[in-house]
Amino acid sequence: MSFRRWRILGWMLGIVATVLVLIGVASGDFWRSVWAWAGIVLAVAAIVLNMVKCNCPYCHRHISDRSPWNTTHCPYCGSDLDQKQP
Ligand SMILES: [Zn+2]
């Protein structure tokens, strides 16, 4: 899967996690809410996915969320990020 798809998946997981945590907060008993725990697990998964998969396939440096989300080239080595990761 390409860098861009991993990044979109990470963002989608993060958004779903945020919604689940907010549902947990709205339930009134955050720490006993299944929704809150599901949101926490998904948030951790999104962070791990971002740390592991959002790297340049060539120089292997992490491409931060501070770079434009639709960036097409690595800010460090300039390689095309739409290529499939080896
Ligand atoms: Zn690179």
Q: Which residues surround the ion ligand 1 when the cut-off is CB under 5 Å?
A: 56, 58-59, 74, 76-77, 79
The pLDDT of residue 86: 53
Ligand 1 centroid to 85 CA: how many Å? 12
pLDDT of residue 5: 83
| DSSP designation for 79 | -
User: Is the overall model pTM greater than 0.85, yes or no?
Assistant: no
E strands, 1-86, in order? none
In the reported structure, the alpha carbon of residue 78 is separated from the centroid of ligand 1 by a whole-number distance in angstroms of 6
Q: What is the pLDDT of residue 14?
A: 93
Residue 1's domain comprises 1-86
Residue with more model confidence, 62 or 2: 62
For residue 63, the CA-to-ligand 1 centroid distance in Å is: 8
Q: What is the mean pLDDT of residues 7-26?
A: 92
If one counts the domains in the chain, the total is 1
Spatial distance between the Cα atoms of 15 and 38, rounded to a whole number of angstroms:
13
pLDDT in tens, 48-86: 998 888 888 889 888 876 677 778 888 899 998 876 655
